[in-house]
Amino acid sequence: MTVLKAIILGVIQGLTEFLPVSSSGHLAVAQSLLNVPEDRILFLSVMLHFGTLISIFFIYAGDILIICREFVLMFFDLFRGKGFNLNNEHRKLGVFIIVATIPTGLMGIFLGDIFESFFTSQLIIGVSLIITGTLLWTAEKIHVGKRTIRQMHWFDALIVGIFQGFAITPGISRSGSTIVGSLFRGFNKELATKFAFLISIPPILGATLLEAKDALTMGTGDITFSIILAGILAAFLSGIFAIRTLINFIKREKLYYFSFYTWTVGSILVLLHFIY
């Protein structure tokens, strides 16, 4: 394992985690092309996920700090007998992030093993990429929503959380599915983008912590501190670039551009499945 390989994998992880093209398949292909052994990649993969997580905190630091503050104040209101008061946007957003995480977590717990077996199926990954592209295209073309956080309801958060849960399928993009779910619910573009990225924090953090245990058990092998740092930094910087790029595409109503990429890659994988 080298610093250069760690940087390449970090860039791929950061870009594909947030651009709606599915990160799992791209990272697996990159590992194979770079000839990175499975017992070496697990620990580095955890660190790369950590790098992408930091990029979300960097972009949305202001919102996250306010959400945390309002969450604490909400509990103070409960203890003071003022009731469950969602009287501002950030407090409401914080609660709805938790609501959206519930179906995502349940789908991961009860369906995770089933969908994990799909990672070895080139056909399923290809079809999933085609589905991702179709959803992106449809959501962009039919979206006329202008709903803000003030018009958002519990049911909306649950639906978007279910869309995020579908991302455990290899080939289904987490960012793509959550943004599509938000657009289908009529959110305005700013809310759709922000909510999609903020609700990705719990599952990414949870997956990182769960994988860290297995990674530490397997050991780090020849992965040095400089290799880890290079991978994290590459994932962090490319993650920032990917988030800002996606925000820009959504504002310009160009989200469907990613459909052409996922359709192409998905179709190639499906054809290769039937040819070989």
pLDDT digits (tens, 9 = 90+) for 194-247: 999 999 999 888 888 877 776 667 666 667 889 889 999 999 999 999 999 999
Reduced to 3 states, what is the DSSP secondary structure of residue 80? coil
Q: Which one, of 257, 96, 53, 256, lies nearest residue 191 by Cα?
A: 96
Over its C-alpha atoms, the chain yields an Rg (Å, rounded) of 19
List, for residues 22-44, the tens digit of each pLDDT value: 777 677 677 767 877 665 667 77
CA separation for the pair 171, 169 (Å, rounded): 6
**DSSP secondary structure string, 160-200?**
HHHHHHGGGSTT--HHHHHHHHHHHTTB-HHHHHHHHHHTT
Q: What is the pLDDT of residue 221?
A: 65
Stretches in the chain below the pLDDT threshold 70: 25, 28, 32, 37-41, 83, 214-216, 218-222
Q: What is the pLDDT of residue 232?
A: 94
Q: What is the pLDDT of residue 21?
A: 87
CA separation for the pair 44, 140 (Å, rounded): 35
Q: Which one, of 41, 50, 51, lies nearest residue 220 by Cα?
A: 41
Q: What is the pLDDT of residue 164?
A: 93
Residue-level length of the chain: 276
Q: Is the pTM of this model over 0.95?
A: no
